[in-house]
Amino acid sequence: YQAKIKKYETEAATVTDAVNDERSKEVQEMQKRIVDYRDNAQKELQKKDADLMKPLMEKIKASIEKVGKAKGYQYVFNAAELLLADGPSITADVKKDLGF
């Protein structure tokens, strides 16, 4: 891609406007294919990441529910989403339950 652009830029002054227009369209099409490929790869990567994380997140959620019930909690909040978290934490117990 880069080599082709460099070649086209070098030859731009010596070829006709029609050739330059055609080359410009070709470069734009190549750029679009590159962007589309990158976007599709990113989507596939995000899907794969979600697919791999799902079983782990389900296991963590089940452990949180188990530990929370064992401690008699009716609610367990994610401390990262709270503005003020000044209470007991079950993180250590959940990690122990998960084997960490």
- pTM score over 0.95: no
Cα first-last separation, the chain: 48
Domain parsing of the chain, residue ranges: 2-98
Angle at 32 between CA 26 and CA 33, to 5 degrees: 90
Q: How far apart are CA 86 and CA 67, in angstroms?
A: 19
For 20-42, the pLDDT digits (tens) are 999 999 999 999 999 999 999 99
For 47-99, the pLDDT digits (tens) are 999 999 999 999 999 999 999 999 999 988 887 777 666 778 899 999 999 99
Alpha-carbon torsion (39, 40, 42, 47), positive or negative: positive
